Amino acid sequence: MSSQHSPDTLRFECETGNYHTFCPISCVAWLYQKIEHSFFLVVGTKTCGYFLQNAMGVMIFAEPRYAMAELEEGDISAQLNDYQELKRLCLQIKRDRNPSVIVWIGTCTTEIIKMDLEGMAPRLEAEIHIPIVVARANGLDYAFTQGEDTVLAAMAHRCPEKSIHNEAQLGALSLKEDKNQPTLFSLFSSKKDGKQPLNHSNHTSHAPLVLFGSLPQTVASQLKLELKRQGIQVSGWLPEQQYSDLPAVGEGVYVCGVNPFLSRTATTLMRRRRCKLIGAPFPIGPDGTRAWIEKICSVFEIQPVGLREREEQIWKSLESYLQIVRGKSVFFMGDNLLEVSLARFLTRCGMIVHEIGIPYMDKRYQAAELCLLQETCQQMNVPMPRIVEKPDNYNQVQRIRELKPDLAITGMAHANPLEARGINTKWSVEFTFAQIHGFTNAQDILELVTRPLRRNHSLEELGWARLVQDHPAASDLNAVPS
């Protein structure tokens, strides 16, 4: 039982439900596209292969760079030589594709039979002369997005070492500035061209900053450009497009995440590589993007320029969508760990969030996001949503029937049953694959959210038109039978 809470405080609850989510090996679907010339080898059973064929079947004509190393009964009972089999497969991959890196994705089966992938990888890497990264992205995780977290945490160990031990080294960075750098006056005179002014007052004089999280290259470039406008230079990104370009990390290097499901990567960068984590809200929606940039600026003691105005411009451009969602209610069943960030953004859009179901909550890594959610609810004068970790879906369905939300954002397994009960739904997995980060992509989030609302509204209008056509008397509201 939960204790009584003030409407101005966040309510955390924990149930004992099962995880209704994809398997984390699905991270291969977007990581192989992000890391060019990479190859992903999933080590598992036929069940894993069937899942990958179904989850990524639409990419069959794109020659995806992944393969399935299927474990047979002989492998599972340790009757065969695992090393020789993996060596044979990796040599074939090298001959056919010659990738820059091979990523072994461990599965539930490799965990259970204690297959020593980490022990075999260095030995085989020395033989075939191709880097081999081991990531155990198996179904024992909480959510399918944590597959990316596992892969990036493994890659963080392979990043080159870089450390800045004293202020003298940090100060030396400012001596490397370009002599052709525009003056402060010329930078601000660009306002006459209708462009956002660039803040280069502290250009390259700050400690190295590495961002982590897999985003399409266009979105990553947008975020780097927004930081560059504030005079902040991004030293690297984990992952980069090329494996050979992995960023240098170490003591004195600041790191900041762009997705809320990367807590394991953040922990690895802090504890194993001694980086300094910038705890910021995530750049999802104009409000989150502004807060993300402001937090990074504050760490480097840079005064942000034009951010509030930039955010207001985006909100004005979204007005046609906001008119649809204002006053509507939404219920998150929990699937991909993006729920808190999306709930915060939709609250700022004028929606009422009844409940935020989430498979797993790392309160330390999402602390800044939770604070922004609380601040947003107070600004919008709406009650705080309850946050339910590991929700029990049976109980959730009962709450949905009582609350009757206008929209439920849910996993694919529950979408059709809820639709059959008259609840508008949206697949949460669509937010994982859509471009939702940064100022310019806020419209894509609202496009996904409003689509079921607009669709059903159109169907209602179509049904009403047909009713009037078949029964002219129905045009009189009083004549419509109850």
Q: Which DSSP string corresponds to 410-479?
A: E-HHHHHHHHHTT--EEETHHHHHS--BSSTTHHHHHHHHHHHHHHHHHHHHHHHHHHHHH-GGGGSGGG
Tell me the sheet residues that pair with 408.
Answer: 331, 425
Looking at residue 160, what is its pLDDT? 95
Grade residue 200 by pLDDT with cuts at 50, 70 and 90. very low
Residues 278, 367 contacting (CB under 8 angstroms):
no
Residues 381 and 400 in one domain: yes
Query: What is the CATH number for 261?
Result: 3.40.50.1980
Residues 319 and 428 in one domain: yes
Residue 2 lies in a domain: no
Average per-residue pLDDT in the chain? 84
pLDDT at 232 over 90: yes
What CA–CA distances, in Å, run from 388 to 196, 315, 385, 396, 411?
41, 29, 9, 10, 15
Residues 64 and 201 in one domain: no
The residue segments making up the domain with residue 134 are 24-141
The domain boundary residue, chosen from 240, 272, 306? 306
Cis? peptide before 239, omega within 30° of 0 = yes
Neighbour-count burial of 307, counting CB atoms closer than 10 A to its CB (0-12 exposed, 13-18 middle, 19+ buried): buried
Residues 351 and 458 in one domain: yes
Tokens at 189, concatenated = 């005179």
Residues 341, 309 contacting (CB under 8 angstroms):
no
Residue 161 lies in a domain: no
User: Domain tally for the chain?
Assistant: 3
Residues 320 and 463 in one domain: yes
The domain boundary residue, chosen from 306, 336, 369? 306
261-280 burial: b if 16+ Cβ within 10 Å, else e: bbbbbbbbbeeebebebbbb
What digits encode the pLDDT tens for the residues 298-349?
999 999 999 999 999 999 999 999 999 999 999 999 999 999 999 999 999 9
pLDDT at 227 over 80: yes
Tell me the sheet residues that pair with 134.
Answer: 104
pLDDT > 70: what percent of the chain? Answer: 81
Query: How many residues belong to the chain?
Result: 482
Element of type H or E holding 135: strand 132-135
Residues 298 and 337 in one domain: no
